[in-house]
Amino acid sequence: MTVVGIVPAGGSGERLGAEGPKAFVVCAGRPLIEWSLVVLREVCDRVVAAVPEDFAEAPDRVPGGDSRSASVRNALDSAPEATVAVVHDAARPLVTRDLVERCLAALEPGVDGAIAAVPMTDTVKEAAPDGRVLRTLDRSALWAIQTPQIFRADVLRRALERDAAALAAATDDAHLVEELGGTVRVVEAPPENIKVTRESDLRIAEALLG
């Protein structure tokens, strides 16, 4: 088994208010992406990051695509040796080795993917475009999905063989695997595994990392 980490890191940082790519914003003393790379390198045989073209000169960095899933495809294409792909967002700097290893362990026979997630604790309602509530969903069966998302590499490769529009529409790579008919399992993650999207998220991440 050859485990390759895939880090899509092509975000612009616009919502964060950053002057450059989000993955390279300093968080608690180091570029945001480095927190994830350090953990993935402890578990994976190799780690490839898909980054903006100006940042792609370093080893194991490839240019990102026009969408997140296109970036994942670019990185996976550069690692033909991968039999297992560990996809993790550069914007989740609080990932732990324990979480990655538990997701890997969940990739049992008959399972194509294992994805980090937290059970929903808020009440969730479905609403019409005009804001009218249509129904209240049963939160006991609902999960908020995070990364890492871990897949059998051959299955993920097939799932990513889509046109640009389909890749751009995918909310995550697990969705593409599900559309193939693949079996994906959730693995409970700590709620601290937050995604840095806005400046307030960055401040929270820095406090937790500190």
CATH number of the domain located at residue range(s) 3-209 in this protein: 3.90.550.10
φ, ψ at 47 (rounded to 5°): -130, 130
Residues near 71 by beta carbon (within 8 Å), at least 6 away in sequence:
8, 9, 10, 50, 64, 65
- Model confidence pTM above 0.85: yes
pLDDT value at position 85?
98
Cα 200 to Cα 203: distance, rounded to the nearest angstrom: 5
Q: Which pLDDT score is estimated for 53?
A: 80
The residue type at 83 = T
CB-based contacts of 80, cutoff 8 Å, min separation 6: none
Pairing type for strands 30-31 and 26-27 reads antiparallel
129: phi then psi, degrees, rounded to nearest 5: -55, -25
Q: What is the pLDDT of residue 132?
A: 97
Adjacent-strand bridge partners of 30: 27
pLDDT in tens, the chain (210 residues): 999 999 999 765 565 656 678 888 999 999 999 999 999 999 999 999 999 888 777 789 999 889 999 999 999 999 999 999 999 999 999 999 999 999 999 999 999 999 999 999 999 999 999 999 999 999 999 999 999 999 999 999 999 999 999 999 998 999 999 999 999 999 999 999 999 988 999 999 999 998
**Domain coordinates of the chain in residue numbers?**
3-209
Full DSSP string of 129-163? TTS-EEEE--GGG-EEEEEEEEEEHHHHHHHT-S-
